[in-house]
Structure 1
Amino acid sequence: MIDEASLSAGDIRRIQEKAWDETIAHVSAHSAFYREHLALAGFRPGRPPPLDALPDIPPIDKSTLSERTDDFVCVPMEEVVEITTTSGTTGRALVVPMTESDMRRLAYNEYLSFRCVGLTARDTVLLGVTLDRCFIAGLAYSIGLRQLGCAVVRVGASAPQMHFEMIDRLKPTAIVSVPSFLRLLADRAGEEGRDLSKSGVTRAVCIGEPLRAPDMTPNAAAADIMKRWGVRVFSTYGNTELQGSLCECGAGRGGHAHPELTLVEALDEAGRPVGAGEAGEITATTFGVRGLPLVRYRTGDVAAVYSEPCACGRVTQRIGPVVGRKHQKLKVKGATIYPSTLQAVLDSCQGVESYVILARSESSLSDAIEVVVHCPSDEDRTICRLRDAFRGRAKVVPGIRCAQKAEIEALQMPEGSRKRRFFVDLRGNAS
């Protein structure tokens, strides 16, 4: 077990060179896709590419992985002990088979991530994340917390009353959940006269939704959670295909990658590395995965990768806030924006209780954006505030329509969905 806080840049290089060689040997021996892929890149059997040759191997994307999943898999089905899937919010769900070794790696990854947060065996943790429907996150957090020695309370994304009961009875010190659910719990607590800032919960590990602005400052959701819960918040970056998550440390300057498990890059549309601190498509290579290892996998998430030392003392790579999904980029009257920019405005606008952003094709040069909001009172004034805020912060003013909460809920959580959507892409080229 490696002490990441004590690693030097040289240590990390040596760890990753060894892990790279083992990964390339594994995929070359067991993956039909990678044998073909490496050969096309000019690497022959017996002459595997060294880590320095990383840029010479073309990245792959989700469409290739989805179309040829069986050719990526490196183990027979009898070695598979767990099946997880992607959420399927942007297309057909991708199946990710995991071996017993992969499960141990997953637990270790989350163990390391929760250590970044500062959790120890003395903590009792409310796990407010679903563990069913082939969802990897809840499974990962549960086994990672167990490896750390925490007492895990698997409440899931259930009714607020059960969370309050567990808080009263068990006095948890931390909670893992989605920011929007934490805000819902705070709303319900307020209705009951509860003060969550006195609950004893001191840390909130937040998944699945943005928590920080591109400059790393807390966004409106984070500020609201910190105020009403009285907690420190920690953002995470997770991806089913990469079989693990990256979590912030106390410095709050990006999610720390674990060098023995993952190597990350940020690439431009041509597949070239972007400049230091610039946003690019997160591209990752997994180390230690037996079932479905990935080499230079383009995740579709756009964020910056930081390599300079963190204030916590670690020199591991860090992923900054995700500014958007590559395929969700919007063109509006000559301007290019991501839905997250609009979400930041909506999250901070007084009077907006819930919302969803709809994108439709308008022409080859521009998309039509409609923001559907629920405002419990004073709709006209709230819409005026929104228009001013969009004009000042997003530089575009989308169409705005008020709706009942039930309509927005149906758009956010269509039947069969396991993940709440705040952006719905209705353009013909959405994938």
Structure 2
Amino acid sequence: MTPIQTSSIEKIARIQWLELQKQLLYLQKNSKFYKQLFKVHAIDVSEIKTEADLKRIPVTTKEDLQQFNEDFLCVPSEDVIDYVTTSGTLGNPVNFLLNEADLERLAINEMQSFKIAGILKGDKVQITTTLDRRFIAGMAYFLGLRKLGAGIIRTGSGLPHLQWDSIERFKPNYLVAVPSFLLKMIEYAVSNGIDYKKSSIKAAICIGEPLRDQNFELNALGRKITELWDIELFSTYASTEMATAFTECEHHTGNHIQPELVYTEVLDEAGNPVKIGEIGELVVTTLQVQTMPLLRFATGDMVSYINEICKCGRNTMRLSPVLGRKKQHIKYKGTSLYPQHIIDVIVEFNTISNFVVIVQKDETEMDLLLVKISNSLSELEQEQLNQHFQTRLHVIPKIEMVSDTEINSLKNPTGSRKPVLFLDLRG
């Protein structure tokens, strides 16, 4: 682990603040967007010396990125090497550009991320996510593993036959995978007589879907995977905009921050820091980024945090799993919910294999919660499902049984790089 990760909280804070001040000066000099922001709000970045001062700077929103995308560019266009886009989960994808220094930073970020999860030079890692389609993550994994010196098998997304053929050929001990795809790999192995429990795989670095709850226990999806396949699951959290990964260590008590690469805040509705353990919106400032750095970027993700030494020896802040997106908050029959609450309950109810969760407005402009499932449930099973929702969430959504074809068309909208389990149709 790097020296900063085991430093005192006070020393980590000092190093972060120095990096933040460097980034402020860089933005003042090079960013058209932030120059204008500082001018409008009469901000002299040299006077930003405390967290209280930092609060004078308004947060940057996803809408800002969409509307003024080119104004965030801080280097000459001829210096740009890689062009990627965000996933567009909550709107149109946003362009993101990287120069040589940013690609090197991305490699360092992922190398350190894999080290946090325990991967070493000499390990072999199979990447089951796409390296194309303007997707930053697959490329980041490749660059990080290459810098680490680990062996890399680039199978890409889908194709369970190719995944198992590669495991048999090259004997990787780690997978990088979306958790729900691990279930598809297990299903394929069972259907094709593959003794997956005796494979070389010992752990999976999981992306894109939460594996744990707010108490860091495996959620329904995580439990379902490990009950079928005795491998260790590591959660990660990242986004294109942050260009930084937050990763679990072997103790699985939160995703470690890399403090020299990102400055983090967790804020309440009024923009004030929440206390340890309380839920707020994650706001990040990317450090050491040259091409499109972001200052106080509101991610929209709701998390809590821990700021105490971990059993692994790292003294870095740790983030909880993402509870949901700020904009995805649901108020249903007086109960506050996030999509993951509903998804966990459905996954726990083992008989449902294919589903999508939809929220929309009813005729009185109240949130209406609908779950479409492909199973044809008996009256008894429907009653059991309703009781399960009532016990776990204290409310029962409307359940609608439809075809697999309809669900798959909803889950895989045109242009999406990953299945969508939650659709917000509230306008």
In the aligned structure 2, how far is the partner of 1:180 from the partner of 1:293? 32
Within a 5 Å distance, the mapping from 1:290-305 to structure 2 comes to 290-305=290-305
Task: Indicate conservation of the 8 Å contact 1:196/1:228, yes or no.
Answer: no
In the aligned structure 1, how far is the partner of 2:125 from the partner of 2:415? 28
In the aligned structure 2, how far is the partner of 1:227 from the partner of 1:336? 30
1:210-256: CA deviation from partner (whole Å, max 9, x where unpaired):
10112110012111222322111000111110112111001111111
Q: CA deviation at 1:419?
A: 1.7
Task: Indicate conservation of the 8 Å contact 1:75/1:290, yes or no.
Answer: yes
In the aligned structure 2, how far is the partner of 1:403 from the partner of 1:253? 39
**2:3 equivalent in structure 1:** 3
Tell me the SS of whatever aligns to 2:304: strand
Segment drifting more, 222-231 vs 245-254:
222-231
**2:140 equivalent in structure 1:** 140
**1:386 equivalent in structure 2:** 385
Q: How many residues align?
A: 426
In the aligned structure 2, how far is the partner of 1:275 from the partner of 1:9? 16
Change (3 A) 1:155 1:380: farther
Task: Indicate conservation of the 8 Å contact 2:43/2:57, yes or no.
Answer: no
Task: Indicate conservation of the 8 Å contact 2:120/2:148, yes or no.
Answer: yes
**1:60 equivalent in structure 2:** 60
In the aligned structure 2, how far is the partner of 1:43 from the partner of 1:172? 52
1:387-412: CA deviation from partner (whole Å, max 9, x where unpaired):
11111111111000112222211110
Q: CA deviation at 1:67?
A: 0.9
In the aligned structure 2, how far is the partner of 1:51 from the partner of 1:177? 40
Runs ≥4 residues deviating over 6 A: none
**2:405 equivalent in structure 1:** 406
In the aligned structure 2, how far is the partner of 1:405 from the partner of 1:144? 38
Q: Which runs of 5+ in 1 are unaligned?
A: none
Corresponding letter in the other structure for 1:99 = N
Q: Which runs of 5+ in 2 are unaligned?
A: none
**1:422 equivalent in structure 2:** 421
In the aligned structure 2, how far is the partner of 1:319 from the partner of 1:294? 20
In the aligned structure 1, how far is the partner of 2:394 from the partner of 2:259? 39
**2:210 equivalent in structure 1:** 210
Q: Does 1:155 align with 2:168?
A: no
Q: CA deviation at 1:305?
A: 2.0
1:31-76: CA deviation from partner (whole Å, max 9, x where unpaired):
122122223444237x342243222222121111211122221112
Corresponding letter in the other structure for 2:96 = V
**2:193 equivalent in structure 1:** 193
1:175-212: CA deviation from partner (whole Å, max 9, x where unpaired):
00101101111111111232322112111111001101
Corresponding letter in the other structure for 1:111 = M
**2:97 equivalent in structure 1:** 97
Task: Indicate conservation of the 8 Å contact 2:5/2:258, yes or no.
Answer: no
Q: CA deviation at 1:309?
A: 1.6
**1:184 equivalent in structure 2:** 184
Change (3 A) 1:404 1:355: same
**1:126 equivalent in structure 2:** 126
In the aligned structure 2, how far is the partner of 1:19 from the partner of 1:2? 16
Tell me the SS of whatever aligns to 1:386: helix
In the aligned structure 2, how far is the partner of 1:30 from the partner of 1:368? 46
Percentage of pairs with the same residue:
38
Task: Indicate conservation of the 8 Å contact 2:173/2:203, yes or no.
Answer: yes
Task: Indicate conservation of the 8 Å contact 2:302/2:322, yes or no.
Answer: yes
Corresponding letter in the other structure for 1:29 = K
**1:335 equivalent in structure 2:** 335
Tell me the SS of whatever aligns to 1:11: helix
Q: Does 1:373 align with 2:388?
A: no
In the aligned structure 2, how far is the partner of 1:300 from the partner of 1:363? 28
Corresponding letter in the other structure for 1:313 = G
Q: CA deviation at 1:364?
A: 5.7
In the aligned structure 2, how far is the partner of 1:7 from the partner of 1:140? 27
Tell me the SS of whatever aligns to 1:259: coil
1:307-345: CA deviation from partner (whole Å, max 9, x where unpaired):
122221211111111110111111112222111110010
Q: CA deviation at 1:363?
A: 4.9
In the aligned structure 1, how far is the partner of 2:385 from the partner of 2:377? 12
In the aligned structure 1, how far is the partner of 2:335 from the partner of 2:420? 23
Tell me the SS of whatever aligns to 1:56: coil
Tell me the SS of whatever aligns to 2:246: strand
1:96-147: CA deviation from partner (whole Å, max 9, x where unpaired):
1111100000110011110000000121101010111111111111111111
Tell me the SS of whatever aligns to 1:70: helix
In the aligned structure 2, how far is the partner of 1:99 from the partner of 1:287? 15
Task: Indicate conservation of the 8 Å contact 2:128/2:175, yes or no.
Answer: yes
Report the TM-score, using the length of structure 1 for normalisation. Answer: 0.95
**1:167 equivalent in structure 2:** 167
Corresponding letter in the other structure for 2:425 = L
Q: CA deviation at 1:378?
A: 4.5
Corresponding letter in the other structure for 2:152 = V
In the aligned structure 2, how far is the partner of 1:125 from the partner of 1:270? 43
Q: CA deviation at 1:18?
A: 1.9
**1:225 equivalent in structure 2:** 225
Corresponding letter in the other structure for 1:289 = V
Corresponding letter in the other structure for 1:165 = D
Change (3 A) 1:2 1:350: closer
Report the TM-score, using the length of structure 2 for normalisation. Answer: 0.96
Corresponding letter in the other structure for 1:387 = N
**1:259 equivalent in structure 2:** 259
Change (3 A) 1:381 1:130: farther
Corresponding letter in the other structure for 1:150 = A
Corresponding letter in the other structure for 1:425 = D
Q: CA deviation at 1:379?
A: 4.1
What is the RMSD computed on CA atoms of the aligned residues?
1.6
Segment drifting more, 289-298 vs 365-374:
365-374
